[in-house]
Amino acid sequence: MKNALLAWFQANERDLPWRKTRDPYAILVSEVMLQQTQVDRVIPRWRAWLERWPTVEALAAASAADVIVAWQGLGYNRRAINLHRAAQHVATHGWPDDLTELPGVGAYTAAAVGNFAFGHDVLPVDTNVRRVQERTGESFDGSCAQALFDLGATICLARVPRCGDCPLAYACPSRGRRYEPLRKQPAFEGSFRQRRSLALRAVAAGDQPADGDALVSLARDGLVVLHDGVASLPA
């Protein structure tokens, strides 16, 4: 299956800008941005981010407030703070052997950066990769990572896989199956996540939102600072 997968990938690889670099910082930024954010939305933001902060040292020297403002619109703003803290750690101590030592870096992100930047033979297993492995019953090594990402994103879809276009269908025990819809994520509209987002946006604009619960939650995550009831972005 591996050879068939890699041959398909050679002809069908998505043109993603972070695949053209081995810079661990640039790859880390892409992986953090891609968490629960669509690829098409990430591409221009990733380019703008690296234009503003082209190196890990440049990001480390930025203020947390500037980082939070630059992240607006990507969602899950705590990722911005963790990325900033990770950059500060690397700028001071270098890249650790165990990348999970960096703030906000879990097993998947560590594997992705380890593979794509440092050449480690480790397979980062996201939703797409797990789906392909479970359906085919096949284990893949690190050289198949990008191919599996693309196959899961474009062919081996969650509900109605395009088995007729799949290079692995000839030996796939799940060929032709259809799947129940996955549980939907709770709606953003009207949620506490939205309240947090609106409160943070207001603070970034210099206003004082009245949503005390949202501000306390943001302060707990290090996204705002509360002093005598007045909210501001961290220095």
Identify the DSSP state of 184.
P
Integer-rounded Cα Rg, in Å, for the chain is 20
Q: Kindly state the average pLDDT of the residues 28-48.
A: 94
Selection from 24, 33, 28, 17 nearest residue 70 by Cα: 33
Per-residue pLDDT tens for 146-202? Answer: 999 999 999 999 989 999 999 999 999 999 988 877 666 677 777 877 888 888 888
* pLDDT in the model for residue 193: 79
| Cβ–Cβ under 8 Å, residues 33 and 74 | yes
Whether the pLDDT of residue 34 is over 90: the answer is yes
* pLDDT in the model for residue 114: 97
Per-residue pLDDT tens for 76-101? Answer: 889 999 999 999 999 999 999 999 99
Distance CA 213, CA 73 (A): 21
Per-residue pLDDT tens for 136-153? Answer: 999 999 999 999 999 999
* pLDDT in the model for residue 183: 66
* pLDDT in the model for residue 232: 85
* Model pTM score: 0.85
Listed range (106-110, 148-152, 209-213) with the worst mean pLDDT = 209-213
Domains and CATH numbers, the chain: 23-116 (1.10.340.30), 192-232 (no CATH)
Pairing of strands 225-227, 230-232: antiparallel
Selection from 190, 197, 196 nearest residue 212 by Cα: 196
Q: Which residues are marked as active site?
A: 31
* pLDDT in the model for residue 185: 63
- In this prediction, residue 4 has a pLDDT band, given cuts at 50, 70 and 90, of very high
* pLDDT in the model for residue 196: 84
Identify the DSSP state of 13.
-
Distance CA 116, CA 141 (A): 13
